[in-house]
Structure 1
């Protein structure tokens, strides 16, 4: 077939083609010859340019004793040093030779095929506020030629990944390499006596602080296929970097850790990165995560990261697996034209007992040992436009099928139904024991608490308490909106159910794990009718803090007003409800004559107006009992010698009142009277 095709071509054309091809080969041979003869001078010129650029852009001094070609495409360096200006030496290499691939050079890509390095050290040093690596955080001078160009995150990420992969050799010999970190409080030395990559197969030994620990690293390196696999394990004990715990308070250790970069592709302008991580006996602990160590015997993550022109995302096919529990997290952060965040997780249907058995040890203490039956399924989906906080969309829920609790484990959540002892804690210390039963003279049954107080607390803390099942999605959405507008955490979305569980079972720990455990425990109580709403509200009012060492409505009513809870009027009830979020400030709003400071008048009109609209109190055009609140005489502050000045700044008070009013208006809607005024 080829012969027939050649017969159709005119001999003259074949001759011309051969002449052109021959000419190209001759020119190429001459060019290679020139380059070969001039390569030493070209190398020195390139090194001078590198030295100049390092000094100009980063204030780094690069020193090289010798640099020469030791093969056709191999460059050898002897006595290579990198020293930041007036800082400790960053990098020192006694001997290094690098072999690059020739064909990629024709397109401008420098790909390393082999590397031989020995007697080298990389030292990160920080003394006081000065470090020898702060140049990493300095921005280069803006390139005016790039102004106005459109940044493409996918292309940028692809170039970065390629630049890293191209520098990973498929053959390497490394001996006596040391990396260290030293600052005023910590020191960590990592020594690699030997590391070898033989045709892509990696093996290495790593020593930590001398012989304090010995790690082993195995792997496969296929940079041309954009594939990497590493496995790290230790001899005799877990892999751990003590410097992380010392500097950041984070305990992180494991028996075996594997990481796998499987695929990197550019598809329709979107960079897709697929990989995975696996760990055995992973231990994590940080004061923001959990107070005790969380142990994951076996965990696995498969992730597909998506990078587009203006977004970074996690595909829904990603999976996190712990024992038999599987979940699919997903998310997307978009930077233009609007800054938006999408986060979520889907947990496929699973046997309920398998789910509880899969929770890591130390994560949910109160639920350890629980026995359940049936099936569970969970989903969470959150979206918010950061430039438009009112755009928050949130959907979440746990679906159950034939679910039931057969027996409690470490903690019996049904204990709320019976008399029990409540112990409040402050800064980890037990304050005192409170008997939650009629045997306590301060315990007040729900039907003996003034309806004014009950309604005021429900209005301010959880208006739909008697109709929801533990959570109010709209309240969570409004809290997220309020916090985004304030650019700080100003308001939570806790219901009375959540506050009750936190107080009775969890104390005041403010960790991520405790919040998740709180949500799960509330779901168990509310969705399985473990405790009635009336009993939950009764216990809540009898144990929450209402002031310094004042617990329960019985104590609070007598402490502030010398009354039984059944005698509380509207004003006293609104006041008591107002201090629940900040109970220790309970006495601050009062003046020397026992009356409330004027700034609270607006709050009373706000809450009283909402209660009136809901038919809970008669409409009052002025104060809703504001002027009828009188503190017990023994607690009143001394009368000042001069005109009393409120220590709370009016602008702060007005701002807080404005935030509260905005929140309650979104929750209940505007009063018609207010709308007319607007």
Structure 2
């Protein structure tokens, strides 16, 4: 045999040997796998029962609750069937109960540690949330606040992706639910959502829901596309019956009524790209109605709204990217919102409103939220930018920049608030506790009316110093005051400080009510901007009207009445000290009497307050030292003296509110 032939035979033998080894290895692995599966199959019921026992122990020890399952068994290789599953806190109402549930689990995902449901068939069950005199039946299951060190930080991208992935894995690709309910009972305020049917088949979702509360009954439907494995959805929520969908529970719990024709939710993409999580899609709502006493006095209506969102999650931030857009009727803008805790805790808000027609903006304002603008007509265009940044660790570094660029902007027709009326005579009625006060004619026809030229310069200077030092230079708003107001309100977590200018006070008094609503504040801001930036009224006229309408005491309106009420003088005859006093009682004019002692003289705190304002005016050069020569103490000689408790008055009790209201010019 030749050497070549021998070599070929050896190679052939080695190849056969390797193939045989591979086949043998695969055969052994197959046997082991079959044995393992067989072992799992043989002992799986025991493992299932052991798992249920562990759940029972955990519910008992960690949540003081009883967890029971009447029947638990496997169906096939990956199916599980449970019957009569109950979770009940030991000292409260049942939290969860379901009569029958069948599900299958993706077998291969179990090897990676992920639980992914393939199908779910459940019927006859409920989740019940109860709050009564004994407490809440779900308190034990609320997340506990974890103690963290200053070095521990949450990776928002990883956390959000993990939560979303695990949640979507628990959504079956095929599902059939029947007669399941969510019940809520909050101290007798009840709402129940009955899921009559829900089917998810071939990525098509359809439900039928009946809603029952103490105040209404409705039938809802959710229908659309849902693909939990590819993290995509496009579903629509609407009412089967006529009329809007009503939001349950909130009407009784928070006195908030809300409704809408339909909502659409679209999720196009959930993707982990490097260290960032991206979530893209859109949501829209049609014919939204909202009513609450803190929002507006009537229904607020948004006909059409859409939010095309691009959420970003990073290691140390959560953001709505500026590529997102908000469409509100005809108005479209790009928001940017971010929370970042990489170093400090920083909150950012940016809004970019591209150039648009002024009339489109007016017509896009939500109905009921800007009632004084309804019917207004304008021409021209504008664009707007807002830049807000708040550092919780360094609050005084707050950034607040607001800029509006207008082009040929002009008001053609006023709405309910005709700002032009301030240029002539008109009747003013103050509102106190929702009740209109006596009518005041603001104009020469009123004998107490005081033109600006007949008001002593001391009063003008004093009031501007205390109320609005930059009145003649600003355009309705003082940015620094706004910043300080925002800082204070954020720190106190309430609207504890305002930033009102005389322009804002004028608009608020003449055109708006005293109600503390979001609507009134927004209207105030817009009306002030329109008045100050369209040269409708001169600054001098604004100040003149202001002096003639503001309250200076109980049922005392305008400086003409006030000068006689306190000092039996005309506004042109008031001394510097008298003007300082009048300027300082503007914030609380109906309580002026408490600034006097039982001898009828100003108390020390009031004297020192007036001196402080006088010294400010001296430092600023508003008055000179000669103005302070021969100044006498305040001597109230007018009708106001009857409201001051003095020793010479036999009945020293405080004058009641009825007598105060009866004082009339």
TM-score, structure 1 as length reference:
0.87
Q: Distance in 2 between matches of 1:514 and 1:542?
A: 23
RMSD across aligned C-alpha pairs, in angstroms? 2.7
Instruction: Note the alpha carbon deviations across 1:328-360, whole angstroms, 9 max, x for none.
Output: 222222235312221231211111111111122
Q: Distance in 2 between matches of 1:67 and 1:605?
A: 84
1:276 aligns to what SS in structure 2? strand
Alignment pair present for 1:156 and 2:159: yes
Match for residue 37 of structure 1 among 9, 33, 42: 42
> Corresponding residue for 2:255?
249
Equivalent runs, 1:159-174 vs 2, <5 Å: 159-174=162-177
Q: Distance in 1 between matches of 2:36 and 2:138?
A: 41
> Corresponding residue for 1:635?
643
Match for residue 79 of structure 2 among 66, 74, 88: 74
**Matched-pair contact (CA < 8 Å) for 1:596–1:626:** no
Alignment pair present for 1:381 and 2:384: no
For residues 381 and 140 of structure 1, do their structure 2 counterparts lie closer, same or farther at Cα, with a shift above 3 Å needed? Answer: closer
- 1:541 is displaced (CA, Å) by 1.5
- 1:435 is displaced (CA, Å) by 0.9
**Matched-pair contact (CA < 8 Å) for 2:301–2:366:** yes
- 1:162 is displaced (CA, Å) by 1.8
> Corresponding residue for 1:233?
238
For residues 129 and 549 of structure 1, do their structure 2 counterparts lie closer, same or farther at Cα, with a shift above 3 Å needed? Answer: farther
Match for residue 528 of structure 1 among 534, 544, 550: 534
> Corresponding residue for 1:456?
462
Alignment pair present for 1:442 and 2:448: yes
Q: Distance in 2 between matches of 1:355 and 1:454?
A: 38
Structure possessing the higher radius of gyration over alpha carbons: 2
Instruction: Note the alpha carbon deviations across 1:504-523, whole angstroms, 9 max, x for none.
Output: 11121221122111111111
- 1:579 is displaced (CA, Å) by 2.6
- 1:368 is displaced (CA, Å) by 0.8
For residues 33 and 66 of structure 1, do their structure 2 counterparts lie closer, same or farther at Cα, with a shift above 3 Å needed? Answer: same
- 1:15 is displaced (CA, Å) by 6.4
**Matched-pair contact (CA < 8 Å) for 2:282–2:309:** yes
- 1:637 is displaced (CA, Å) by 1.4
Q: Which moved more, 1:271-280 or 1:105-114?
A: 271-280
> Corresponding residue for 1:669?
none
Q: Which moved more, 1:492-501 or 1:308-317?
A: 308-317
Equivalent runs, 1:211-222 vs 2, <5 Å: 212-222=217-227
2:463 aligns to what SS in structure 1? helix
- 1:197 is displaced (CA, Å) by 0.7
Equivalent runs, 1:585-624 vs 2, <5 Å: 585-619=591-625
> Corresponding residue for 1:187?
190
> Corresponding residue for 1:139?
144
Q: Distance in 1 between matches of 2:319 and 2:287?
A: 29
Instruction: Note the alpha carbon deviations across 1:195-251, whole angstroms, 9 max, x for none.
Output: 111122111111112992111110222111222332111121110134211111111
Q: Distance in 1 between matches of 2:134 and 2:561?
A: 52
Q: Which moved more, 1:408-417 or 1:367-376?
A: 408-417
Q: Distance in 2 between matches of 1:90 and 1:288?
A: 34
Gaps of 5+ in 2: 1-10, 653-665
- 1:114 is displaced (CA, Å) by 0.9
1:514 aligns to what SS in structure 2? helix
Instruction: Note the alpha carbon deviations across 1:267-298, whole angstroms, 9 max, x for none.
Output: 34232222322111110121222121111111
Q: Distance in 2 between matches of 1:249 and 1:133?
A: 24
For residues 174 and 603 of structure 1, do their structure 2 counterparts lie closer, same or farther at Cα, with a shift above 3 Å needed? Answer: same
Q: Distance in 2 between matches of 1:124 and 1:171?
A: 28
- 1:430 is displaced (CA, Å) by 1.0
Gaps of 5+ in 1: 1-6, 645-678
1:75 aligns to what SS in structure 2? strand
Q: Distance in 2 between matches of 1:284 and 1:430?
A: 27
Q: Distance in 1 between matches of 2:107 and 2:198?
A: 25
Q: Which moved more, 1:83-92 or 1:209-218?
A: 209-218
Q: Distance in 1 between matches of 2:322 and 2:456?
A: 51
Instruction: Note the alpha carbon deviations across 1:249-277, whole angstroms, 9 max, x for none.
Output: 11110011112222222234232222322
1:591 aligns to what SS in structure 2? coil
> Corresponding residue for 1:673?
none
Alignment pair present for 1:196 and 2:204: no
Match for residue 547 of structure 1 among 546, 549, 553: 553
Q: Distance in 1 between matches of 2:398 and 2:629?
A: 34
For residues 527 and 591 of structure 1, do their structure 2 counterparts lie closer, same or farther at Cα, with a shift above 3 Å needed? Answer: same
Alignment pair present for 1:580 and 2:580: no
For residues 519 and 114 of structure 1, do their structure 2 counterparts lie closer, same or farther at Cα, with a shift above 3 Å needed? Answer: same
Alignment pair present for 1:430 and 2:436: yes
- 1:148 is displaced (CA, Å) by 6.6
- 1:601 is displaced (CA, Å) by 4.4
2:497 aligns to what SS in structure 1? coil
1:163 aligns to what SS in structure 2? helix
For residues 464 and 252 of structure 1, do their structure 2 counterparts lie closer, same or farther at Cα, with a shift above 3 Å needed? Answer: same
- 1:625 is displaced (CA, Å) by 9.8
Equivalent runs, 1:451-530 vs 2, <5 Å: 451-484=457-490, 489-530=495-536
**Matched-pair contact (CA < 8 Å) for 2:584–2:610:** no
Instruction: Note the alpha carbon deviations across 1:62-121, whole angstroms, 9 max, x for none.
Output: 111001112211111101111112111111101011111122211111111211011112
Alignment pair present for 1:93 and 2:101: no
- 1:630 is displaced (CA, Å) by 3.0
Alignment pair present for 1:127 and 2:132: yes
> Corresponding residue for 2:117?
112
**Matched-pair contact (CA < 8 Å) for 1:590–1:631:** no
Match for residue 358 of structure 1 among 361, 364, 367: 364
TM-score, structure 2 as length reference:
0.89
**Matched-pair contact (CA < 8 Å) for 1:311–1:332:** yes
Aligned length: 631
> Corresponding residue for 2:414?
408
For residues 100 and 611 of structure 1, do their structure 2 counterparts lie closer, same or farther at Cα, with a shift above 3 Å needed? Answer: same
- 1:174 is displaced (CA, Å) by 0.9
- 1:485 is displaced (CA, Å) by 5.6
2:187 aligns to what SS in structure 1? coil
Instruction: Note the alpha carbon deviations across 1:486-526, whole angstroms, 9 max, x for none.
Output: 66544211211111111111121221122111111111111
